Amino acid sequence: MEGKQDPASPAEALSAPYVLAYTYRRSVGPVIGRFLTGLREGRIEGVRTAAGRVLVPPAEYDPETGAAVGDFVEVGAAGVVQSWCWVSEPRAGQPLDRPFAWALVKLDGADTAMVHAVDAPSPAAMRTGMRVCVRWRAERVGSVRDIACFVPDEGSGASEAPPMPPAEPVRGMLSPVHLEFTISPGATLSRFLEGVVEGKLLGRRCPACAKVYVPPKGACPTCGVPFGDEVAVSDTGTVTSFCIVNVPFEGQTMKLPYTYGSVLLDGADIPILHLISGIPADEVRMGLRVRAEWLPAGERRPTLESIRWFAPTGEPDAAYETFSEHQ
């Protein structure tokens, strides 16, 4: 079972870089907000539970009972390492750009541990049970990163945080997400897109229902079985439905109004969506016969944008019965 592959899979498939990046604006609420406000002011506060445990960083509810938490309690800016690991190759965005330790640190006066970085010269300088203290950032904004990192406590404890001017309590924070991928359309769609570069439209026939899909997918959506034979279909077809775009929107490149249509290619059983042009928008109709207008061979890329649009062939309209199944 291990490593089984579709025998029809090519050794190579198309791939492309893809980045998912966005930023959430999060509300922090009264508990986390007070903790972050405290950090900005150079103070670390936890919350006391009904059982008397002090949670740092504070939780909004007691993780053991689900009860609301009680008073805020200031805890020390130094504490004891509960566990640690050594990062020999730091990544961008981490607290230190040289090798460092991640540690669970239980601050003096707290009953739970917080995760942060420890700036130690080497793993030999780290051990569970050692004392560490906070190194404050001079410019603080109300973030867990206002603690630049922890450092081994040489006996003098944490130094005072440089003062910050008074400001409103922290109510929100920005949470950026940035993920990078190399995505592949898979074997079936790769083959189709390679055909597009050559000016061909290659469908696949389902061995169960015999329908020809263009573009083909990984499996027939109706039958759930992998597709069978490759079938070249025509670049002429029939408009089965359409809409006229009259409303401008961000990122739009076409001149208004323009028409977007479903085109049932001759030889295919599933229509594709594309632009309809070469005809005034108010003359586009169901049954209109159209042909792909390809970009010149040297300009074609593995995308359906290699077809500029579909334009009328001048043939008589197709009879409704020939495409009524696709309404």
Site residues, Zn ion (CB under 5 A) = 206, 208-209, 220, 222-223
Q: Is residue 122 at the binding interface for another protein, with CB under 8 A as the rule?
A: no
Q: Is residue 72 at the binding interface for another protein, with CB under 8 A as the rule?
A: no
Q: What does the CA dihedral 261, 267, 269, 272 come to, rounded to 10 degrees?
A: -30
Helix (H, G, I), strand (E, B) or coil at 7: coil
Smallest CA-to-CA distance from 105 within 119, 95, 94, 116 is with 116
Per the omega criterion (within 30 degrees of 0), is the bond before 215 cis?
Answer: yes
Instruction: Find the binding residues for another protein in span 286-315 (CB under 8 A).
Output: none
Q: Is residue 3 at the binding interface for another protein, with CB under 8 A as the rule?
A: yes
Q: Which of 23, 159, 175, 252 binds another protein (CB under 8 A)?
A: 175
Q: Which is nearer to another protein, 162 or 207 (CB)?
A: 207
Q: Is residue 164 at the binding interface for another protein, with CB under 8 A as the rule?
A: no
Token pair 């150079």 in the structure block, residue = 42
CB 302 within 8 A of CB 285: no
Q: Is residue 37 at the binding interface for another protein, with CB under 8 A as the rule?
A: no
H/E run at residue 197: helix 186-197
- Minimum distance from residue 57 beta carbon to another protein (Å): 5
Instruction: Find the binding residues for another protein in span 76-95 (CB under 8 A).
Output: 82-88, 91-95
Q: Is residue 117 at the binding interface for another protein, with CB under 8 A as the rule?
A: yes
Residues 241, 190, 258, CA angle at the centre, nearest 5°? 30
Q: Which does 177 bind (CB under 5 to 8 A by kind): another protein, Zn ion, none?
A: another protein
- Measured CA to CA, the distance from residue 165 to residue 40 in angstroms comes to 10
CA 55 vs. chain centroid, Å, equals 32
Q: Which is nearer to another protein, 93 or 316 (CB)?
A: 93
- Minimum distance from residue 179 beta carbon to another protein (Å): 6
- Measured CA to CA, the distance from residue 63 to residue 44 in angstroms comes to 20
Smallest CA-to-CA distance from 148 within 69, 226, 158, 175 is with 158
Q: Which is nearer to another protein, 144 or 311 (CB)?
A: 144
CB 292 within 8 A of CB 264: no
Q: Which of 133, 187, 201, 307 binds another protein (CB under 8 A)?
A: 187
- Minimum distance from residue 255 beta carbon to Zn ion (Å): 40
Instruction: Find the binding residues for another protein in span 224-253 (CB under 8 A).
Output: 224-226
CA distances (Å), 196 to each of 8, 136, 235, 319, in order? 20, 58, 11, 29
Q: Which does 123 bind (CB under 5 to 8 A by kind): another protein, Zn ion, none?
A: another protein
Q: Is residue 218 at the binding interface for another protein, with CB under 8 A as the rule?
A: yes
Q: Which does 154 bind (CB under 5 to 8 A by kind): another protein, Zn ion, none?
A: none
